[in-house]
């Protein structure tokens, strides 16, 4: 071989390797990539391969080859018979068992060519192991004319190509596995998320129901304490006054005792009224949220000396009873927080309506709330506030800076369709 033909050969080898590696690097379906690779090889004239070839994948556990894809004109009989080939069987099985490249001059004379087909025409073979390092990934079989003048370097080139194909198959298999894992993971995440959303919804419904039951219970208790106990005590007081009046003037001791009874009864009546209003102020049901807030503010002022600026709904607004209860409880929770945490002297309360949106603001002049407290899952009081307005699509926000007080801003929709 002259040096110029040797150069030509190297150029062609380089071109075919370049082309094959380009095809193998393309993204897409493995079968399509392999078919394109085989077609490219038929264009490599020095190899003299026909447009007839195929790829098996190796199952190294079962020690069999499984037909993956072919190009060219194969009979159905061939395709059916060649689906599975045990290692060691025929040419391809032999190449799989040895891991070495096989060349066969003719199917008619080569005793290793054990498998025959009714439409078999004389041909030769390149059987190329597809190996990634020592791992047999599959077998590439190429058809050639019988007794080809074996291109002396084709073995090396074909082995290199086999290595490239093996790498691609491995990469695709890993990709597939990864994808399967990823899809599986996504499915798991989706189903867990769904479960979570469902149990969150259930929890909310339950929480709402518990709140409603608690309010009903408090209402009932408040009424019973106020009416039953209140009436009995009033009757008791009347009777005691009657006794007092009818006691002879000389029974000073008894008279004093009865007077003391009357004042005890008075205190008990006050305490009963207090308990009843604490449970649920009757003013809330009788006069509505603004009057209830005004009354409650006055109580806080009397008890804790906290000053209130109230500005509640200048025009009449029809507010759902449950929402009034929710707003009142939020007010109580907010002021309790101010008393416990804010070290404030003044509270501004504003409730206003703009079309369907109700805004409720409670602002203090205390130390300010910390960012971490606002979103803390352990701030159960604040979570309770959020949960209470959720049925009205309520949003709860805080504005605060250290030493500048805390502003709790609630907006919600009066009518939820």
Min dist. Cβ of residue 298 to ligand ADP (A): 20
Residue closer to ligand ADP (CB basis): 258 or 407: 407
Please state whether beta strands 357-364 and 346-354 pair in parallel, antiparallel, or not at all (unpaired): antiparallel
- Other CB atoms within a 10 A radius of the CB of residue 338 amount to 25
Q: How far is residue 339's CA from residue 132's CA, in Å, rounded to a whole number?
A: 74
CA separation, residue 233 to residues 230, 238, 281, 304 (Å): 5, 9, 20, 29
Residue closer to ligand ADP (CB basis): 139 or 385: 385
- Is 115:90 a contact under the CB 8 Å cutoff? yes
Residue closer to ligand ADP (CB basis): 168 or 406: 406
**Residue at shortest CB range from Mg ion:** 381
Tokens of 411: 């907006």
Min dist. Cβ of residue 347 to ligand ADP (A): 9
Binding site for ligand ADP (CB under 6 A): 337-338, 340-342, 364, 366-369, 373, 379-382, 406
**Residue at shortest CB range from ligand ADP:** 381
Tokens 């025409």 map to which residue?
A: 121
Please state whether beta strands 346-354 and 307-312 pair in parallel, antiparallel, or not at all (unpaired): parallel
Residue closer to Mg ion (CB basis): 273 or 379: 379
CA separation, residue 40 to residues 43, 102, 179 (Å): 5, 20, 29
Question: Helix 154-224 and helix 380-389: axis angle, to 10°?
Answer: 90
**Residue 296, binding choice from ligand ADP, Mg ion, none, Cβ under 5 to 8 Å by partner class:** none
Residue closer to ligand ADP (CB basis): 41 or 389: 389
Residue closer to ligand ADP (CB basis): 218 or 341: 341
**Residue 380, binding choice from Mg ion, ligand ADP, none, Cβ under 5 to 8 Å by partner class:** ligand ADP
Q: Which residues contact 288 (CB under 8 A, 6 or more apart)?
A: 319, 324
**Residue 342, binding choice from Mg ion, ligand ADP, none, Cβ under 5 to 8 Å by partner class:** ligand ADP
Binding site for Mg ion (CB under 5 A): 337, 381
**Residue 148, binding choice from Mg ion, ligand ADP, none, Cβ under 5 to 8 Å by partner class:** none
Min dist. Cβ of residue 349 to ligand ADP (A): 13
DSSP assignment, residue 390? Answer: G
**Residue 382, binding choice from Mg ion, ligand ADP, none, Cβ under 5 to 8 Å by partner class:** ligand ADP
Backbone angles phi, psi at 106, to 5 degrees: -160, 140
Nearest to 34 by CA among 240, 188, 198, 173: 173
Min dist. Cβ of residue 367 to Mg ion (A): 15
Min dist. Cβ of residue 368 to ligand ADP (A): 6
Residue closer to ligand ADP (CB basis): 144 or 337: 337
Min dist. Cβ of residue 385 to Mg ion (A): 9
CA separation, residue 396 to residues 330, 355, 359, 374, 399 (Å): 11, 19, 10, 10, 10
**Residue 316, binding choice from Mg ion, ligand ADP, none, Cβ under 5 to 8 Å by partner class:** none
């Amino acid at each position: 071989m002259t040096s110029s033909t040797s150069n030509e050969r190297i150029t062609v080898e380089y071109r075919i390797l370049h082309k094959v590696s380009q095809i193998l690097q393309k993204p897409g379906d493995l079968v399509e990539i392999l078919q394109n690779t085989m077609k490219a090889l038929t264009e490599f004239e020095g190899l003299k391969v026909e447009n007839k070839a195929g790829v098996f994948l190796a199952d190294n556990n079962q020690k069999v080859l499984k037909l993956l894809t072919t190009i060219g004109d194969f009979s159905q009989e061939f395709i059916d018979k060649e689906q599975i080939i045990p290692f060691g069987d025929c040419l391809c099985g032999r190449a799989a068992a040895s891991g070495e490249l096989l060349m066969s001059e003719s199917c008619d004379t080569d005793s290793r060519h054990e498998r025959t087909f009714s439409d078999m025409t004389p041909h030769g073979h390149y059987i190329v192991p597809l190996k990634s390092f020592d791992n047999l990934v599959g077998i590439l079989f190429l058809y050639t004319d019988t007794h080809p003048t074996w291109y002396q370097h084709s073995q090396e080139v074909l082995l290199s190509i086999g290595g490239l194909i093996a790498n691609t198959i491995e990469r695709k298999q890993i990709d597939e596995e990864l994808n399967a894992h990823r899809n599986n993971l996504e499915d798991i995440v989706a189903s867990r998320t769904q479960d979570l959303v469902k149990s969150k919804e259930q929890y909310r419904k339950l929480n709402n129901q518990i709140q409603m039951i608690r309010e009903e219970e408090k209402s009932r208790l408040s009424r019973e304490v106020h009416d039953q106990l209140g009436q009995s005590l009033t009757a008791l007081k009347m009777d005691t006054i009657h006794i007092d009046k009818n006691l002879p003037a000389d029974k000073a001791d008894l008279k004093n005792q009865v007077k003391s009874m009357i004042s005890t009864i008075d205190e008990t009546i006050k305490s009963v009224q207090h308990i009843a209003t604490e449970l649920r102020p009757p003013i809330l049901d009788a006069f509505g949220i603004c009057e209830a807030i005004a009354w409650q503010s006055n109580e806080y002022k009397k008890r804790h000396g906290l000053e209130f600026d109230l500005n509640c709904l200048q025009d009449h607004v029809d507010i759902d009873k449950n929402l009034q209860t929710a707003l009142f409880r939020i007010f109580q929770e907010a002021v309790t927080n101010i008393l416990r945490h804010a070290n404030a002297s003044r509270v501004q309360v504003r409730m206003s309506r703009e079309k369907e949106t109700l805004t409720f603001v409670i602002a203090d002049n205390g130390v300010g709330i910390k960012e971490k407290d606002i979103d803390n899952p352990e701030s159960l009081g604040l979570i309770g506030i959020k949960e209470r307005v959720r049925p009205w699509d309520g949003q709860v926000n805080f504005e605060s800076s250290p030493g500048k007080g805390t502003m709790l801003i609630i907006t919600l929709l009066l009518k939820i369709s």
